[in-house]
Structure 1
Amino acid sequence: MARKEPTSLKHPISQPMKVSSVTGKITDNNGNPLVGASVMDKATGIGVITDSNGEYALNVDQSNILIFSFLGFKTLEIAINGRPIINVIMQEDEISLQDVVVNAGYYNVKEKERTGSISKITSKDIEKQPVTNVLAAMQGRMAGVSITQTTGVPGGGFDIQIRGLNSVRTNGNNPLFIIDGVPYSTDPIGSGQASPVLPGQPSPLNSINPEQIESIEVLKDADATAIYGSRGANGVVLITTKKGKRGGTQFTANVSKGVGSVTRFMDLLNTQQYLAMREQAFANDGISPLPDRAYDVNGTWDRNRYTDWQETLLGNTSEITTLSSSVSGGSQGTQYLASGSFNKQTTVFPGDFNYKKANFNLNVNHESENKRFRSIFTVGYTIQHNLQPRDDLMTSALALAPNAPALYKEDGSLNWENSTWINPLSSLEGEYEAKTYDLIANSVLSYQISKNFEIKSNFGYTSTDNNETAALPSTQYDPAYGLGAAYSSLKVGTMSRKSWIIEPQLNYKEQFGKMGLDVLVGSSFQSQQGRMRDDLGQGFSSNSLIYNLASASVKSILLSQEQEYRYAALFGRINLNWNSKYIVNLTGRRDGSSRFGPGKQFATFGAIGGAWLFSREDLLKDNKILSFGKIRASYGVTGSDQIGDYQYLDTYGSTGSNYGGIIGLEPTRLFNPAFGWETNRKLEAAVEAGFLNDRIFITAGYYKNRSSNQLAGMPLPGTTGFSSIQSNLAATVENKGFELTLRTVNVQTQDFNWTSNLNITVSRNKLVAFPDLESSTYKNIYSIGEPLNIKKVYQFTGVDPATGLYTFADRDGDGKITFSGDRTLVKDFNPKFFGGFQNSFRYKKLQLDFLFQFVKQENYNATAFFAPAGMLSQQPTTVLDSWKKPGDIASHQMYTTGANGEAANAASRYASSDAAISDASYIRLKNISLSYDLPLQLKDMRCKVFVEGQNLLTFTKYAGADPEFKSAGYLPPLRVLSAGLQITF
């Protein structure tokens, strides 16, 4: 137990002293007491260590100098100068990177002894961002990790790729997520049939509260991931939550208020420009007089009216409220931390829609007095309630004519303008509501049998339950149509997913002279059960009964299924360390999965990694410039079983037809027990170097991964009744790239610090082999030698000055433009390179951090969001440069209402050509945080005020909604600005 009594560090020097007592408290930059910090008189060598409150007392000569030191913090020397009280705030020693401990999953390793590729961010980076999804906190901060947001609607998700796409299946590229040692399924919640406002389905990762995360490590190469076997093919994300620490009870409370808005609006036509376009379209198509249904131009709608529908439907301000608190402390033997948080976000859509999330987390650590027995218990519980409009209004905001009618009548009811339009707010009559309950529990028990042997076991349990409804009441229809309650409907989705895991382990460590040996052996036993059901109710006698499925006149089951997944494995690691200079790391895993048929259920994966710390060679050991140098390399094989459950079995589904009172069955999948695991061979070589006492630290690495034995649908002839059968394709996908990280300590003084972090990734993805590709159903999707994430498009060659129509290259030379022969130009949607540049400044109690994220890529431009120019639909201002008469040179073809078949076909091809794809590179001020510690006079209280921003500025030439965004028709990411207060005592 820490104590205040002086503890002699060495024999004092006998000399006369004018002794007096000096006391004080040592804390870190956040006001947390540093327990066990050393305080030593420089002249005499007498010293003490701080107690559980970070306090010390020492008898010293008033003219002497005190040395303050603590592991991980910069050592300070402070002259006493007769002062009886000296309080010290110690700064973290950010340049001692070599001794940073990294979580590698089943074991921990010092950064300097790491043989694998592992990227890490800590709570210092995470807690400065106003985000609710853990993946948002990782964007732009890790080399080799590409993350994109799929929607700006609260509760939406993110896509993550670690070193590219490995599988030809879109759902076969997800990394493994481990939370406090427990595998956490990130498969989307539900089937998606009841969540139309979100692309895909709700993301389970929203259940993880970023404020409660201590660190995130991403394992990338074979050396780091092979110990996870089949689950490590696409990388591993390790999330560690905050733990209790020794010391007195400490209470922390946070409150923040923020606002969110759409990052940018597109430049669209005003009313005069729009009407001129429409009139020209009718003239081009030879239509006169104007049709009765041309309400926008024939005078039915006010020709002088103008509404900015982007501002009207998407221009509201989202309000964000966050409350959180925690209490922590403990003795030397037992520590605890309990925390809770609440977050509420409204939307930018009209109406009272919101997303709420409440979270509770508890951690208790215990160590016996003899330090042999240790236990860690962690449990987290999250409740989410998401209430959103039935449809995303993004499509309406970009499609509505600028002179479309008013939304409301004078009496406040929806305006249907004599049935001449569909009021966009009618979709708000229906609601999408989802309630999610998520539990993650983990316990780790360990016992030190002897000096060298430790036995440990990890126990984990997760439970996710989701209930969602999508209501379409009759009030969403124009009353003039007389569509009563019989046309109301409700979709109900329920999902339940439970899993448990047990992982006993045995660890042996020994030092044989200069040789260090570390052996780990363990096993995994995991089971996961899932249930999912979607129901549809139609025809409610009253809209007040619409959420009672039993009240529907017609009820049907859209989907009903149960799944069970069982997994078992034996894993091991042998680490050899010679003289802290030469390191070899061997890892392996024998996996068994219930997703494969008999004889194919087991596979073995493994890797070897090595490192040479060349800076410890005698020639360089005392080098003044090079402070650290390491060369590392690894090679290994990981695998994948991400194909879903029961894929090898015959399965049957209901025909939905009643024959003689019996509902029939029909086959939905053919039996094939012959397919097995995907394999991913990973190779990497890297160099790490620190200069000037690690004030400059650089890591440069090259990797090359090849994924083969692809699990995909094998094409079948139509006579079989099936388009494909689940099998292993002899297709090979290659990912290779270069990663660079650079960290610099630019200025480091007592009052002012400035550090910078740069990461950049250059990656290439390629389909190396695919037997009989041209005769398969994949021929219009993939090409040998090209990336997986491609689009085959027409090659746009301009506007014919004579006809005014878009023209395209005849790539197969047959004299005509056809889908199969000429839609063959390959456009790569993978980023060419991406990364982030972070800077951190501290001046006394003022802290400033900001991160710029950058991506070099191509994406669909504004063309993807709009109908052909000339139709009853809004357009970007770029269409003003259009063909009017023979001889015109223009970027856009003649306007058409769609009645001109040739013009309509050309417009359709244009949207499927390279003209619809343009540079979508951007540099974005992803995150900024400014905080200040108020100079309070209270001894044990600290108060910090802060301002944080997300997606504040974007520098791009892209003309679409948002360069990061890849889903047309959905709300893009929001710009968020928040301010708050943190109190600690």
Structure 2
Amino acid sequence: MSALFAITIKGKVVDEGGQPLVGATILVKGTTQSTFSDENGDFTLANVDEGAILQISFIGYITRERKAAPQLGTIKMELVIGKLTEVTVNAGYYSVKESERTGNISKINAKDIEKQPVSNVLASMQGRMAGVDIIQDSGTPGSGFQIKIRGLNSLREDGNEPLYIIDGVPYSSEVIGYYNTTSGIPTPTSPLNSINPNDVESIEVLKDADATAIYGSRGANGVVLITTKKGKAGKTSVTASASSGIGKVTKMIDLMDTQQYLEMRKQGFANDGVTNYPDWAYDINGTWDQNRYTDWQKELLGGTAVIANMQASVSGGSDLTQYLINGTYHTETTVLPGDFKYDKAAVHFSMNHRSEDNKFKFTFSTGYTAQDNLQPETDISRTARNLAPNAPALYDANGNLNFENSTFQNPLAALRGISTAKTNDLIANTVLSYQIAPDWELKTNLGLTDIKNGEQRLLPSTMYDPAYHLGSSNSAMFSSNTQRKSWIVEPQLRWSHNFGISTIDVLVGGTAQQQTTSRLYQFGYGFASNSQITDIASATQKSIFVSDETQYKYQAFFGRLNYNWDQKYIVNLTGRRDGSSRFGPGKQFATFGAIGAAWLFSKESFLKDNAVLSFGKLRASYGSSGSDQIGDYQYLDTYISSGLNYNGAIGLDPTRLYNPDFSWETNQKLETAIEMGFFRDRIFFTAAWYRNRSSNQLVGIPLPGTTGFSSINANLNATVQNMGLEFTLRTLNFDRNSFKWTTNFNISAPKNKLLSFPGLEGSTYSNRYVIGESTSIVKTYQLKGVNPQTGLYEVEDFNKDGMITSLGDKKVIMDLTPQYFGGLENQFQYKNWQLNFLFQFVKQKNYIYTPNVPGGSFFNQSSDMIKAWQHEGDQVPFQMNTSGENGAAVNAYYNYLDSNAPIVDASYIRLKNIAVSYDLPLHAIKGVHCKLSLLGQNVLTFTPYKGGDPEFKYTAYLPPLKTITAGLQLTF
């Protein structure tokens, strides 16, 4: 047996074009001994055993292996395009190659994110990931997004958020602020706006048990891993970019013009037998000009939002230390009339360092974001759709707001009420690691988050008609101040050993985390002057809604065992023992775990080097993860100050009953999948089937009214199942000379079902859920149509009792869960040109926009309402118009609203994103790279839906915007 000798290795790493690759990693396989290539692509690695295997890797390129020799010469790297299995993905506590992954993980990187003119990182994920359904809450700047990873697991609306991890630090997605201070958007302020998309290197979404069980009680709804950008070795690089653009509402609703509207109104009064129009019917009694027409959607929502973004970064370093500092400023106005604005500034810094012997490694990253959002306190989108088309002008002859002698409620007056939100967010992470022996590594992850949010909703007396003579003593303000701090410490020990034909990798660790949240929600009324309205101390009446501080403590031990036999058979075991302060004594700890396995059948002898099949893998996983998303102190008796003075003392009101017995929601996850690559992975296909069953549901159990409480928090033996299929396809269609064309396609078909719910029929949930149906159903009446004789809507009397009642006749089930959704992306590259576009598609049902009052009322209606019933015998889709005096017609209309008729096909195909860029040659300026870009978001929408934007859930709020931006980037 020959002895091994230590040698020094030298070599050079270049790309496909022969240009040096700076920062490529050269690793001695089976050890942590490594180095990096310098600015010329050269590297030197000393004290390497003769006969060792070197792995040369670089992000975006296929990993190469070479046998150690003093002179390796030039190593040409090949782009990973066409070899997806070589991509490394982040699985949270560890990284794994795509080919060896046993769990289900979707990924997008910075190149995908940079092509999209978005301010919220969740927007960049829409349509790009199988099984990940994301909906934008509103087109108002700074609004949030809803994300569902493989469906809704919890019966609680606030219990379906995934776990967010930024550089190893958990980031709470619990809302900040108070709903009363943000009425201009449908949901409270989302903390995820603080994540700056320009700072993100990659986003991985963990979905199945194998991927999520290591996060235990927080992984039931999936895990979103966000990795920020890091510096790379090489000479100092400076990048500066600027972009600006515009935003417009994607789609308006087709409403009646003045003549159609007035005819509708006349019919309504005539049908009610009213011949003399009442004094308040200004639109039709001659008070307002009946020849006037205003498209109020265009007038109030048809403005242009102006968007600007500026960014600068500096990066570089040696093979031992790398750094990156990045600064971003984003500003955005709205489409509404007025000076409303959203500003966001962010700075990000990271530094990596390793010792010369490569045993000690240090990584530090931090980001600070400041947001300042000034928006209307009320969304006037509903007003724009309801307002009579012959309503008066917004301004009088003197340029003042026009109230038309107190007959007109000017919508611009409502915009004098404002909502402000100022958020400052700090997140910091440090990772220290040391190789204590050749196969042993000790690592510690340290993290800190600190978010401060201050909001005010201001309602000055100037919002109202001056004729009412309301002074500032009628002004009001709502105030919200929230601060949330958390820290985390995670020591970890890893042992990895290569036995030749097999490899074993063991990871054990622990987590200690603490989060403290303090809140102060106040109300003030009556001010000496409107100039004092932001100072609650100046209010004559003051109330405190909430003033508290909560603390969340969490600890856990986790582990992973991965065994790889001959790179063909892989088993992955993960587990976690969790403890949470959100549960009572005896219920605070739980254990979660999973097993995943993969068989790389393409490496079997009978398929090896197959000319067609280049990669094939079967994988499966089963396990459990949990959820403690219930808020703090939910199991305790809790009280709130009554605010009432009794004999000189302020009393307490009970708000929650004690129940120490409720515990974790648990999600059992099962998945099987196949992954195949053909023709050197030029065609790569995956298919996955999953079944998740969430049980031990935490809900409010109804109580008798005699207890003084409507419900008590408890576990219910109800089970929700999410089952579905996911498919992805990637093809390298053309790659020759200077032209390259790739396609990415994904489609998901989810199915949500309530499997069990003991005592459902006798509970308060009986009108909401049906066993065997989705948890997103709506129980409705069955619309029979318009009776040709009476002209009224009729719904089916299912129980034949002669009455229409909710309990007896709402028997039609409408499922609002998307049947399928996905995306189709194409990427073209020709010389210095790049073109990328993504089509997002969804098959779904949704409510059509329908006013809350019947046709004929003092509200504009859809232009389709010209087909309303007029004469006996009419066969029409809409009932007779009524001014509101016909009680039977009004009641029939409300039955119509509660029927299946307003729920229509809201499927759509949308050109979600398009990006065109050109690398401009600057031959006269050596070392300078210039890139021009044109980006679009929500560009075109194809849909049969007539209710505005089909993606949008809230028809009473501003829909998402179509944005177009142009940008310039310089790199020195």
What TM-score do you get using the length of structure 1 for normalisation? 0.93
Matched, 1:869 2:855: yes
Alignment partner for residue 778 of structure 2, among 787, 791, 803? 791
Alpha-carbon shift at residue 71 of structure 1 (Å) = 4.9
Q: Relative to 1, partners in 2 of residues 1:71 and 1:465: Cα closer, same or farther, differing over 3 Å?
A: closer
> Take 2:234 and 2:927, find their aligned partners in 1: how far apart are those partners?
13
1:362 match: 349
Is the partner of 1:131 in helix, strand or coil? coil
Query: Is 1:96 aligned with 2:88?
Result: no
Q: What is the RMSD of the two structures over their aligned residues, measured on CA atoms?
A: 2.1
Q: Does 1:880 align with 2:866?
A: yes
Q: Of the candidates 323, 329, 337, which is equivalent to residue 342 of structure 1?
A: 329
Deviation at 1:939, TM superposition (A): 2.6
Cα offset for 1:899?
Answer: 1.1
- Aligned match of 1:608: 595
Whether the 8 Å contact between 2:447 and 2:489 is mirrored in structure 1 is yes
Q: Distance in 1 between matches of 2:528 and 2:60?
A: 70
Offset at residue 690 of structure 1 (A):
0.3
Structure 1 residue 313: deviation in Å?
Answer: 0.4
- 2-structure distance, mates of 1:309, 1:32: 60
- Residue 919 of structure 1, aligned match among 905, 914, 919: 905
CA contact (8 A) 1:847 1:931 kept: yes
Residue identity opposite 2:894 in structure 1: S
Once residues 581 and 288 of structure 1 are traced to their aligned partners in structure 2, the CA distance between those partners, rounded to angstroms, is 86
Where do 1:820-831 residues align within 5 Å? 820-831=807-818
Q: Distance in 2 between matches of 1:957 and 1:747?
A: 35
- Report if the CA contact (8 A) 1:866-1:875 is conserved: no
- Asked if structure 2 preserves the Cα contact closer than 8 Å seen for 1:29 and 1:91, the reply is no
Which residue in the other structure is 1:805 paired with?
A: 792
1:618 alignment counterpart: 605
1:209 — aligned with what? 196
Q: Which AA in structure 2 matches 1:973?
A: P
**Alpha-carbon spacing, 1:55–1:114, altered in 2? closer, same or farther (3 Å):** closer
Q: Which residue of 2 aligns with 1:897?
A: 883
Write the distance in 1 (CA, Å) between the matches of 2:161 and 2:297: 34
Residue 515 of structure 1: CA displacement? 2.1
Partner of 1:194: 181
Question: CA 1:75/1:89 → structure 2, altered by over 3 Å: closer, same or farther?
Answer: same
Does residue 133 (structure 1) correspond to residue 143 (structure 2)? The answer is no
Give CA-to-partner distance per residue, 1:681-738, whole Å, 9 cap, x none.
Answer: 0000000000000000000000001000111111111111111111110000000000
Task: Select 1:114's aligned residue among 88, 101, 117.
Answer: 101
Alignment match, 2:22: 34
Match for 2:562 among 558, 568, 575? 575
Q: Which residue identity lines up with residue 883 of structure 1 in the other structure?
A: W
1:142 aligns with 2:142: no
The one-letter code sitting in structure 2 at the alignment partner of 1:668 is: T
Give distance in 2, aligned partners of 1:267 and 1:8: 70
Using the TM superposition, give the Cα deviation of residue 654 of structure 1 relative to its aligned residue in structure 2, in angstroms. 2.4
Return the match for 2:922 from 896, 920, 936.
936
Distance 2:298 2:76 in 1: 49
**Deviation per residue, 1:96-152 (Å, 9 max, x gap):** 211211100000111100000000001110111000001000000000000000100
Residues 599 and 618, structure 2, Cα contact 8 Å, conserved in 1: yes
State the alpha-carbon separation in 2 of the partners of residues 74 and 674 from structure 1.
Answer: 53
The 2-side partners of 1:231 and 1:380 are apart by 24
1:739 aligned onto 2:740: no
C-alpha deviations, 1:604-653, integer Å up to 9, x for none? Answer: 00000000000000000121100000000000011111111101100112
- Equivalent residue for 1:251, pick from 238, 242, 262: 238
Deviations 1:566-619 (A, max 9, x none): 000000000011111000000000000000000000000000000000000000
Q: Is the 8 A contact 1:27 1:54 kept in 2?
A: no
Q: Which stretch shifts more, 967-976 or 716-725?
A: 716-725
Aligned length: 935
CA distance in 1, matches of 2:667, 2:58: 40
**Cα 1:928/1:880, change in 2 over 3 Å:** same
Q: Which amino acid aligns with 2:302?
A: G
Structure 2 runs not aligned, ≥5 long: 1-7, 27-35, 44-55, 64-73
Determine if contact 1:26/1:55 at 8 Å carries over to the other structure.
no
1:643 correspondence with 2:630: yes
Q: Which amino acid aligns with 2:142?
A: G
* Aligned residue in 1 for 2:615: 628
The change in CA–CA distance for 1:540 and 1:27 in structure 2 (over 3 A counts) is: farther
Please tell me whether the aligned partners of residues 33 and 247 of structure 1 are also in contact (alpha carbons under 8 angstroms).
Answer: no
Q: Which amino acid aligns with 1:930?
A: V
Distance (whole Å) between structure 1 residues aligned to residue 916 and residue 315 of structure 2:
26
1:436 aligns with 2:423: yes
The residue aligned with 2:540 is 553
> What does residue 283 of structure 1 align with?
270
Question: Residue 673 of structure 1: CA displacement?
Answer: 0.2
Q: 1:270 to 1:89 in 2, by over 3 A?
A: farther
Q: How does 1:154-173 map to 2 (within 5 A)?
A: 154-173=141-160
1:206-355 mapped onto 2 (5 Å cutoff): 206-355=193-342
Which amino acid counterpart does residue 266 of structure 2 have in structure 1?
E
| 2:752 is the alignment partner of 1:765 | yes
Give, in angstroms, the shift of residue 897 of structure 1. Answer: 1.3
The answer on whether the counterparts of 2:10 and 2:42 sit within 8 Å (CA) in structure 1 is no
Q: How far apart, in 2, do the equivalents of 1:792 and 1:805 lie? A: 22
Structure 2 Cα separation of the partners of residues 406 and 649 of structure 1: 56
Does 2:918 match 1:907?
Answer: no
Partners of 1:26 and 1:251 lie apart in 2 by: 22
581, 586, 589: which one aligns with 2:576: 589
Cα distance in structure 1, aligned partners of 2:714 and 2:764: 14
1:847 aligns with 2:834: yes
Runs (4 or more) in structure 1 with deviation over 4 Å come to: 6-9, 24-33, 35-38, 53-56, 69-76, 87-91
**Superposition map of 1:362-511 within 5 A:** 362-511=349-498
Structure 2 SS opposite 1:206: helix
Letter aligned with residue 878 of structure 1: D
> Distance in 1 between the 2:891 and 2:20 partners?
68
Task: Report if aligned partners of 2:38, 2:233 keep a CA contact under 8 Å in 1.
Answer: no
Deviates more, 1:395-404 or 1:29-38: 29-38
> How far apart, CA to CA, are the structure 1 residues paired with 2:240 and 2:920?
15
Alpha-carbon distance between aligned partners in 1 of 2:651 and 2:785, rounded to the nearest angstrom? 55
In structure 1, C-alpha distance between the alignment counterparts of 2:175 and 2:57, rounded to whole Å: 45
Shift of 1:88: 14
SS of residue matched to 2:179: coil
Q: What amino acid sits opposite 1:413 in the alignment?
A: N
Post-superposition CA distance 1:397-444 (Å, at most 9, x none): 001000001111111111110111211001111111110000000000
CA distance in structure 2 between the aligned counterparts of 1:550 and 1:528, rounded to whole angstroms: 30
Question: How has the CA–CA distance of structure 1 residues 91 and 384 changed in structure 2, closer, same or farther, with 3 Å as cutoff?
Answer: farther
Provide the identity percentage: 58
Give secondary structure in 2 for the equivalent of 1:827.
Answer: strand
Looking at structure 2, the residues matched to 685 and 8 of structure 1 have their Cα atoms a distance apart, in angstroms, of 45
- How far, CA to CA, are the matches of 1:176 and 1:132 in structure 2? 20
Deviation (angstroms), 1:465: 0.3
How many angstroms apart in 2 are the aligned matches of 1:390 and 1:29? 56
Task: Give the 3-state SS of the residue equivalent to 2:473 in structure 1.
Answer: helix
The secondary structure found in structure 1 opposite 2:540 is: strand
TM-score by length of 2: 0.94
How far did residue 193 of structure 1 move?
Answer: 1.5
Equivalent AA in structure 1 for residue 231 of structure 2: G
Contact kept? 2:526, 2:539, Cα under 8 Å:
yes
